[in-house]
Chains A and B, each alone.
Chain A
Amino acid sequence: MPLKPALSAFRPRGPRPRQLRHVACPNCSHQFTISRKALTARCPNCTHPLAFEDVSLAGHHQGELSTMGHVELPAESQFTGKLVCGSLHLAGQFKGSLTAFGPVRLTATTPPNPPTPLNIPQITGSVTAKALHAPRGSTLTATVHVCPKPDPTQVAAALSATHRLRHTAPTYTPAA
C-alpha cells in the first residue's frame, strides 16, 4: 500500500527573491526583509501596510512626499517641503521637515564635479532619523532628533502620509 504524501508537497511556493531589502516597521520597529522589487508589504508583526517605493528626485521639487522606500536627491537637485522616507541619500539641497526611519547620508561632491552652491549637500530645517552621516564639506543647519526608535507622534503622522501615498501618486509638484 503506497504511503500518502504530505499536503505540503502539493502546496505551491513562489521563488525566493534573489535581492532582499532589510526594512524596519515604523509602527512596531520590527525588522524584517522583503524583496527589493516589492512596492508594498505588510509588517509580519503588526500587519501595518507599508509602501516601499524608491524615489529619485532630480531637479527642483516642492511639496510633500512619503514613502518607506529609499529616496535619493542627487546633486543639482532641490527639495522644499515635507519628506517622509525609509532612508535618504542626499547630494543636493533639502529645506523643510525630514523624517527618515533609516539612515540619512549626505554625500559631499566628488572631485570631478566642481563645487557649486547646488551640488553641496545641504539640509535646512528639522531632521528626524535613525542615523545621520554628514561628512566634511556638507552643510547642515537643523534641529536634529536621532534615536533608535522613532517618536510615536511622528510615526502616526508618517503612517497617515504613507496611506495617502498608497492610494495616490506622490504629492510633490515640480517647480516652475
Chain B
Amino acid sequence: MPEPTRNKTILGPDCKISGELNLDNDAVIMGAFQGTLRVSGTLELTDSARVEGTLIVGTLRLAGHAKADVIAEEGADLLPGAQLEGQLYTGRLNVVEGATFQGDVCIGPKAIAAATEAFADAIDAVTPSTDDMPEATETDAVVETYADMNAAEDMPAVQTNPNSVNAVLQRRRQKVLAARQAISNGSA
C-alpha cells in the first residue's frame, strides 16, 4: 500500500529566517535558520544549510552545518560533510564516515522523555495553544460587528482562518470602514 503523499516545505539557499517556525509536514532547508524549528515529518538540511538554535523534528537528515540542540523522535542521519554540535536526543543515530559530530547524545526508549524534560520551555514555546491567544481587542470587535452586519443583510458569514486572523483583518479593514460609511449614509 503506497504511503500517503505529504507536503514538503522547501526553503531555498538564499532564504534566511530567524525566529520560530512550526511545520506540520516534511521540510528541506537549504539556507540559514536561527531559532526554534519544529517539523513533524522529515527535516533535510542540505550541505548549504546553516542552522542554529533548537530543532524538534521527526527524522533529521543533516548534510550541512548545525549548531543546535536536536530532538529527533524517529532518528537522525548525519551524512558525509555534515557538522553537528550540540545535544542530541533521538531513537536511533547513524553518523556515516565523513560527518562530524560533537556533543552529548541520548539514544534509547527513554531519550524522548528525557528530552521533553530538558527542553520543556522550547516545546511549550513552539506548540501553539488557545491559551496563548491574546485577549479580545478592538479588531476582534470590528470582526464581530462585521459578522452581525452580514447576518442582518443575509450575506454569507465571514470565514476566517484562525492561523491568519491578522492577515484577514489587514485586508478587510478597508471593507469594514466602507460598509460602515454606507450604513451611515443610508440611515441619514
Measured CB to CB, the residues of A under 8 A from B are 103, 127, 129-136, 138-148
Q: Are A134 and B107 in contact (CB-based, < 8 A)?
A: yes
Q: Are A142 and B104 in contact (CB-based, < 8 A)?
A: yes
Choose among A103, A138, A144 the residue that contacts B101 (Cβ–Cβ < 8 A).
Answer: A144
Q: Are B100 and A142 in contact (CB-based, < 8 A)?
A: no
How many chain B residues touch A (CB < 8 A): the figure is 22
Residues of B within 8 A of A133 (CB): 93-95
Q: Are B93 and A134 in contact (CB-based, < 8 A)?
A: yes
A-B contact count (CB 8 A): 65
Determine whether B150 belongs to the interface, using a CB cutoff of 8 Å to chain A. Answer: no
Determine whether B91 belongs to the interface, using a CB cutoff of 8 Å to chain A. Answer: yes
Measured CB to CB, the residues of B under 8 A from A are 75, 78, 88, 91-109
Choose among A143, A147, A148 the residue that contacts B104 (Cβ–Cβ < 8 A).
Answer: A143
Residues of A within 8 A of B107 (CB): 134, 138-141
Complex Cα gap A136–B93 (Å): 8
Q: Are A132 and B100 in contact (CB-based, < 8 A)?
A: no
Q: Are B101 and A145 in contact (CB-based, < 8 A)?
A: yes
Q: Are A136 and B75 in contact (CB-based, < 8 A)?
A: yes
Q: Are A140 and B100 in contact (CB-based, < 8 A)?
A: no
Complex Cα gap A133–B102 (Å): 15
Complex Cα gap A148–B105 (Å): 18
From B96, which residue of chain A is reached at the shortest CB distance?
A131
From B98, which residue of chain A is reached at the shortest CB distance?
A148
Point out which of B88, B95, B96 has the most chain A C-beta atoms below 10 A from its C-beta.
Answer: B95
Complex Cα gap A136–B111 (Å): 11
Q: Are A140 and B101 in contact (CB-based, < 8 A)?
A: no
B109 to chain A, nearest CB (A): 8
Q: Would you mind naming 9 contact pairs between A and B with Cβ atoms under 8 Å apart? A: A131-B97, A132-B95, A134-B94, A138-B107, A139-B109, A141-B108, A144-B104, A147-B100, A147-B102
Asked if A139 meets B95 with Cβ closer than 8 Å, knowing A145-B101, A145-B102, A148-B100, the reply is no
From A147, which residue of chain B is reached at the shortest CB distance?
B100
Complex Cα gap A142–B105 (Å): 6
A17 to chain B, nearest CB (A): 24
Q: Are A138 and B94 in contact (CB-based, < 8 A)?
A: no
Residues of B within 8 A of A134 (CB): 92-94, 107
